[in-house]
Amino acid sequence: MADRASREEANRVAWAEASQFFQGAKHLFAAISETDETDRAVALAIIGREMMATAELRADDMMMGRAAEANHG
């Protein structure tokens, strides 16, 4: 029973983290659309791309049932 609660908590934490990465990337892409500075837009796009990739990996881990490993990796 405690093991199940632990897995459920690990799942909740991992999904929350993935959501934060997706939201962060969303805000970065919004900032890109508002800037007219090319260098800043490129830098934000690179950061946003990395955040999206991290979020996608976390979500993939969750869908494959690897929440505990994802939380420690």
pLDDT digits (tens, 9 = 90+) for 37-62: 898 888 888 888 888 888 888 888 77
Give the tokens for residue 13: 């934490």
Which one-letter amino acid corresponds to residue 60? D
pLDDT at 16: 84
- Cα distance between residue 60 and residue 41, in whole Å: 28
The residues spanned by each domain of the chain are 2-72
pLDDT digits (tens, 9 = 90+) for 21-37: 888 888 888 888 888 88
HSE-CB at 48 with a 13 A cutoff on CA atoms is 16
pLDDT at 71: 52
pLDDT at 55: 82
What is the length of the chain?
A: 73
Could you say which DSSP state residue 33 is in? H
Please state the pTM of the whole predicted model. 0.57
